Structure 1
Amino acid sequence: MQTFLPYPDFRASALVLDRRRLGKQRVEALQVLRGLVRPGYGWRRHPAVRMWAGYEEALVRYGLEICRAWCDLGHQDTCAATLVADFTASRPLPPTATPGTPARDQERLAAAGELPPWLGEDAFHRSHRSALVRKDPDVYTPLFPDVPDDLPYVWPASDRADAHDDPAGPPEIPRRPR
């Protein structure tokens, strides 16, 4: 499980993904969100879920950008509506909010201090570029020619407390052999 962010910008990250990964990211964003907002849902302890804790709206914005890029390629999508529905069902809406309103755009989230602090950390984004090169060298080596294919994932911690956080931190996830 992973939310691929080779760049700090959600839209730029979505646009660089190949069709296979782009399609899968729609489902992964939804799984991560459900790991955060649905008690008892699987994956709650996975570092890909835990790093987004407290930043669910930003995760939804990431997922919506992924879904938008998917639709721009001519594909049908049901994940965007589900992301919005699960997100809005998980939090109380202000009295002035319209139910089902999508998450704020990335610029507004940044202005409000609602983006995770690891977004923009070079080591984090470089580890995602490396993983993409490893997964599909033919596609990603030309896009990231100076990135080796053997960097381990960087799993940042969220700086926001969450009910399912373990004080010991996220469990180590071993790298799978290629």
Structure 2
Amino acid sequence: MPLLRMQHPDSELVFIDDGASPTHVNGQKVVRWTEFSGRHSKGKAVSIAIAASQIREALATKCEIAGISLIEVRAASVVQMDDVIIKDGACLSPFVTLTSNIRIGRCFHANLYSYVEHDCVIGDFVTFGPGAKVNGNVTIGDHAYIGSGAVIRQGLKIGAYATVGMGAVVTRDVPPSKTVVGNPARPVNKD
């Protein structure tokens, strides 16, 4: 919310939560979806700051059906170089770096100090933990999660719904829906 307050100082900002929650969080009012969606306001928009990618997608779809646009949240310290295309709903935390010739899908979350190097393609609803490092020419599928401090070698493919554990050093492609951890990163066998 602090980033949104800086970006939109003259806007009314609220949290939307249909669960049992207090009436205010960090000084901001909490409203239910029905109250928010029923308000008549020019330029009404939503930022979906939920790490769970499938919930994020469901909420983005709900907003789309209701005709409510998704807005980007971007810290002032984000570095973005040439030819970076980011679809709607991104959350870019302080000190994120996006170099050149990058394509990023919907509702991307890049946490503190994470970076994406040149010629990468990032899918929809992808989440980077703090300090995630994605080197050049990497392709990351929809709903992938890249953990805090993970490093992905240049030229790899990370499949849709894959999870790269925190601190992992990825030197090989990661198949869809697989979890890898360690240095070098290896698949986790779930029994």
TM class by smaller structure: under 0.3
Identify the structure with the greater strand proportion.
Answer: 2
Identify the structure with the greater helix proportion.
Answer: 1
Larger relative contact order (C-alpha < 8 A, sep ≥ 6)?
1
TM-score (norm 1): 0.25
TM-score (norm 2): 0.24
